[in-house]
Amino acid sequence: MKGFAKKFMLVMSVFILTLPIFTSEVAAATFTQPELELNASAGMIFDENSGQIVYSKNPDEKLAIGSITKIVTLYLVTKAIKDGKISESDLVTPTQEQADMTQDNELTNVRLDADKSYSVKDLYNAAWIVSSNSAAMMLAGKVAGTQAKFVKMMRKTVKDWGIKDAELYNASGLNNSDLKTDMYIGPTDGENKLSANDIGVIVKHVLDQYPEILQTTSQTKLSFPIDNEIKTYDTLNFLLKGQRDYQEGYEFDGLKTGTTEQAGESFVGTLPLDNTRLVTIVLNAQGEENDNDKRFRSTQKLVHYLRDNFDRKEVIQKDKSIKINNKKYKTYEPVYVWLPKNSNIEDLRYTVSSDDLGFTAIHNKQTVKLIATNTNSGYLPFKKADVRKKIHKETNQKSWWDQIVEFFNHLF
């Protein structure tokens, strides 16, 4: 009888400890958000600094991404340069197959010759600004030795970032059927696929770590050596200043277009706005087949939607205390959240973040991350690589949680 009473008290303790959590979640209501009809298979706009998603459509659907692939490819090239593994001045010679691809306007747009060598810097610029497929593959080979090894690096990188089911087969974003067998891994008709959520996580990692990439992606012209002269190519990002879809007040400075038959016309954009940085994602923009600007108009629709319907509000001041489940947390810095216009910041609810997003606060001399729980579209599923690895310490004493688990295992 005494044993049963002890077990009963343990169950009741667990119930009482978790009750405030359940009560808090029930009380939190989401804010009413204006509707948006986005002409694309999937899309998103989020705050790059906080990771807050302001709007999303089909964020978890895996779709072909075309040359948006190169964001991952060129991240790894940037990392190799920063780590001193390769240099911008290093010269790379294309294989005959890579050079031959540049004679096909459907596959690439910067001519490369198999009897010439090109600097890593020139190839890097060509891959970012005009999306040269052969340049991307040459850089991949320079970093990893072979295309297959590089794709495995890509897969490991996104897996480390919490993306477990990415479909990545090559460094360029083309369909494998357009490539020679040594340029890809996987099925002969495989095509790289990610979701809008996946792309958002990738872009946040890339811009958090290497914001200087924007110095390249904001360029409207590529100067590239061809036949002992310098030839100029125009950017593929028509939202940059001076380009045909540019709108004053929306100063895009990146990031990457993506186009294949399966991917349609897609675009990942970024721009500074209201003292933060926004990222837009449009996958497979819908419209007339001969309309080459539909992805950019859909992107503009996203940023206009945000500016017309939302305000970035300071919801908590620096050095202020907030209470969560009867625990007090003190903020380190002002906290900003995108909220629908005329909404009440007192309606926001907060909790301890389950990943690496959130604002910094302190409780019992311990630093933690807190996050708003009832914004309409939530936050990116963002985790920093290699940070959250668990360290197990050997001990002869069981934790209270282990005791609870053991109790339930032997209850019946």
Domain extents in the chain: 40-310, 312-372
Cα 142 to Cα 48, 85, 88, 267, 306, distances in angstroms: 30, 10, 11, 27, 41
- Is 121 marked as a binding-site residue? no
| Residue 189 confidence (pLDDT) above 60 | yes
Under 8 Å CB-to-CB from 26, ≥6 apart: which residues?
none
DSSP character string of 40-97? EEEEEEEETTT-BEEEEESTT--EE-GGGGHHHHHHHHHHHHHTTSS-TT-EE---HH
41, 50, 56, 131: the catalytic one is 131
The amino acid occupying position 229 is: E
What is the CATH topology of the domain spanning 40-310?
Beta-lactamase (3.40.710)
Confidence at residue 407, expressed as pLDDT on a 0 to 100 scale: 46
Under 8 Å CB-to-CB from 96, ≥6 apart: which residues?
114
Confidence at residue 238, expressed as pLDDT on a 0 to 100 scale: 98
Cis peptide before 255 (omega within 30 of 0): yes
Confidence at residue 9, expressed as pLDDT on a 0 to 100 scale: 54
- The CA distance from 290 to 359, in Å, is 45
Confidence at residue 355, expressed as pLDDT on a 0 to 100 scale: 86
Confidence at residue 33, expressed as pLDDT on a 0 to 100 scale: 82
Among 193, 179, 209, residue whose Cα is nearest residue 78: 209
CATH number, domain 312-372: 2.30.140
Q: In terms of residues, how long is the chain? A: 412
Mean pLDDT of all residues in 351-373 = 91
Tokens of 34: 């204006």
Confidence at residue 383, expressed as pLDDT on a 0 to 100 scale: 83
| Residue 410 confidence (pLDDT) above 50 | no
The tally of CA atoms less than 13 A away on the side-chain side of residue 15 is: 6
57, 70, 204, 294: the catalytic one is 70
Per residue in 89-129, pLDDT (tens digit) is: 999 999 999 999 998 877 778 999 999 999 999 999 999 99
Per residue in 37-51, pLDDT (tens digit) is: 999 999 999 999 999
Cα 132 to Cα 31, 97, 103, 258, distances in angstroms: 43, 14, 12, 11
Confidence at residue 10, expressed as pLDDT on a 0 to 100 scale: 53
| Residue 303 confidence (pLDDT) above 90 | yes
Confidence at residue 7, expressed as pLDDT on a 0 to 100 scale: 54
Higher pLDDT, 292 or 403: 292
Mean pLDDT of all residues in 312-336 = 93
Asked if 40-310 and 312-372 have one fold, the answer is: no
67, 218, 266, 298: the catalytic one is 67
Mean pLDDT of all residues in 217-235 = 96
- The CA distance from 45 to 53, in Å, is 6
Task: Choose the weakest-confidence range: 4-13, 123-132, 243-252, 271-280.
Answer: 4-13
| Residue 12 confidence (pLDDT) above 70 | no
| Residue 15 confidence (pLDDT) above 60 | no
pTM: 0.86
- The CA distance from 255 to 270, in Å, is 6
Instruction: Answer yes or no: 131 catalytic.
Output: yes
Confidence at residue 108, expressed as pLDDT on a 0 to 100 scale: 74
